Amino acid sequence: MMRLAVLTLAVVLIGSLVGTTSVRAEGTPKASPAEAPFDVQAAADYCVAKGGIVRTRVATLGINLDQSQWITLGTPKQFCEFTGHAGEGDTSWITLSLETLYSEQPTLATLVYLTKPELPKDTGGANPAAVYCSKLGGTYDFGTNLADGGGWVTTDPEPALQVIEYCTFADGSMIDAWGLTYHTGGVIRGADLTPILRYQATEYPNAFPA
């Protein structure tokens, strides 16, 4: 009993010296508070409030083939679509994922749009949007047989386009590859996203140095 009491007293004294009676193994990281989950409904409401239309799309392989051969992939995602600019009606559009639109932090997709890195001088006759996206480190095509094509398809009535190719970046941000390419070239399609994006800053980080 005497030995147990002495041991207990020693533990209390040591704890008082280091300011705590609990011991954490050195090198063990402290738990960080969990981040709030993405609020899809709030993002959708924000899209509509800014004049956009929420579209549900699903990644689909084989879009250059007969529709009976299309392969639907993964889980549907929601995008914010802006159509019409300067009297162009629904022949002009730009869309981006709800997560990209609603993020208060910079994403690669928003930084490309805002900073407009230089377009490739020569695409060699290839799809300019695909070449630009690839130059920026994004992904435009998916699948091993690129001739079959891949894109994001909606079954919603009267979209700007049934199938859209997005430039998808490593951080998960997504933006319409053609709308992005046009914007860098000085043509606004659908809407000017600069005042619409939830991410606002007076200076932008240089994520795409020349």
Which amino acid is present at 169?
F
List the domain range (segments joined by +) for residue 143.
40-184
CA angle 189, 141, 40 (to 5 degrees): 60
| Inside any domain, residue 195 | no
Over 70: is that where the pLDDT of 153 sits? Answer: yes
**pLDDT confidence of 74, banded at 50, 70, 90?**
confident
Contact at 8 Å (CB) between 160 and 150?
no
pLDDT, residue 5, reads 44
| Inside any domain, residue 6 | no
| Inside any domain, residue 201 | no
Query: Which of 63, 39, 32, 51 lies closest to 150 in space, CA to CA?
Result: 63
| Inside any domain, residue 95 | yes
3-state secondary structure the chain: CHHHHHHHHHHHHHHHHHCCCCCCCCCCCCCCCCCCCCCHHHHHHHHHHCCCEEEEEEEEECCCCCHHHCEECCCCEEEEEEECCCCCHHHCEEEEEHHHHHCCCCCHHHHHHHHCCCCCCCCCCCCHHHHHHHHCCCECCCCCCHHHCEEEECCCCCCCCCEECEEECCCCCEEEHHHHHHHHCCCCCCCCCCCCCCCCCCCCCCCCCC
| Inside any domain, residue 179 | yes
| Inside any domain, residue 117 | yes
Over 50: is that where the pLDDT of 119 sits? Answer: yes
The tally of domains found in the chain comes to 1
| Inside any domain, residue 23 | no
Over 70: is that where the pLDDT of 37 sits? Answer: yes
Over 80: is that where the pLDDT of 175 sits? Answer: yes
pLDDT, residue 63, reads 87
Query: CB-based contacts of 60: which residues, under 8 Å, 6+ apart?
Result: 70, 71, 72, 73, 150, 151, 152, 153, 163
Report, as an integer, the average pLDDT of 17-34: 44
State the DSSP string of 74-118: S--EEEEEEE--TT-GGG-EEEEEHHHHH-SS--HHHHHHHH-PP
